[in-house]
Amino acid sequence: MSYLLHIDSSSLGEASVSHQVAQSFRDRWQGPVVHRDLAASPVPHLSAAGVTARVTDSAQHTPEQATAATLQDELIEEFLGAGAYLFTVPMYNLSMPSVFKAWLDQIIVMDRTLILHNGPSPVAGRPAVLISARGGGYGPGTPNEGLDYVVPTLEAVLGNLLGLDVTAVTPELTMAPEAPALAPLLPLHEASMTAAHDTARTLATTFATTVRTTFGTARAA
């Protein structure tokens, strides 16, 4: 069985709601996990050296290009080696943490993870769960409807570009216990949290079965 790749981008560590829901997934997961905590050990934002290294023969790399290419190779091989994915990406100011965007920019490389012609992505169809806690509510009918720029963006990037089968889990109203103005919404927050943890546990079981079937068949072949 291949490993679960957990990419964590919350600045709050174990105090993060996104992280706590992700832990419910991991507590139920049966198998190895590779965990990369981008808040604790951020990857650099994509540089000119990183971009040009992709289209320059390795024998001609400058020292800066060689360093950038080595990092990209490490991150891409880690990404490609996983059988399932757990992304902890809380909403910060209506968008994703910059450390997660930096990671995406490092691993999305034409003809390696992004395949526009000649077949599907090498990770096409692999299961991924995206856990994104947010302080308010952003669902249909709420005042914030349409202002979620995390889940739709990452469904497009992880799903449409990279081919992953993405399921989003969005624990909401996490500010309700702290903000007096949101106190009337506390029951909705508590219900959202319960549903998020339950869904995470269910997905872990489902993903494990999918990965065993897929990679077990691949090894048998």
Token duo for residue 90: 């809380």
CATH class of 3-220: alpha beta
- Say if residue 219's pLDDT is above 90: no
State mean pLDDT over 147-164. Answer: 97
Q: What is the mean pLDDT of residues 13-19?
A: 92
Q: Would you say residue 120 has pLDDT above 80?
A: yes
Give the percent of the chain with pLDDT over 70.
Answer: 96
Least confidently predicted of 119-133, 184-198, 205-219: 205-219
What would the mean pLDDT of 90-108 be, rounded to a whole number?
Answer: 97
Q: Where are the alpha helices (DSSP H) in 95-185?
A: 98-107, 151-154
**Cα dist. 220→1, 204, 214 in Å?**
12, 24, 10
φ/ψ of residue 114, rounded to 5: -105, 110
- Which has the higher per-residue pLDDT, 108 or 118? 108
Mean pLDDT over each residue of the chain, to the nearest integer? 93
Q: Say if CB 120 and CB 40 are below 8 A apart.
A: no
Q: What is the pTM of this model?
A: 0.92
Q: Burial-class residue 141 by CB neighbours within 10 Å (0-12, 13-18, 19+).
A: exposed
Question: What's the mean pLDDT in 27-35?
Answer: 94
Mean pLDDT on 36-56: 96
Backbone angles phi, psi at 57, to 5 degrees: -55, 135
Closest CA to 91 of 144, 141, 51: 144
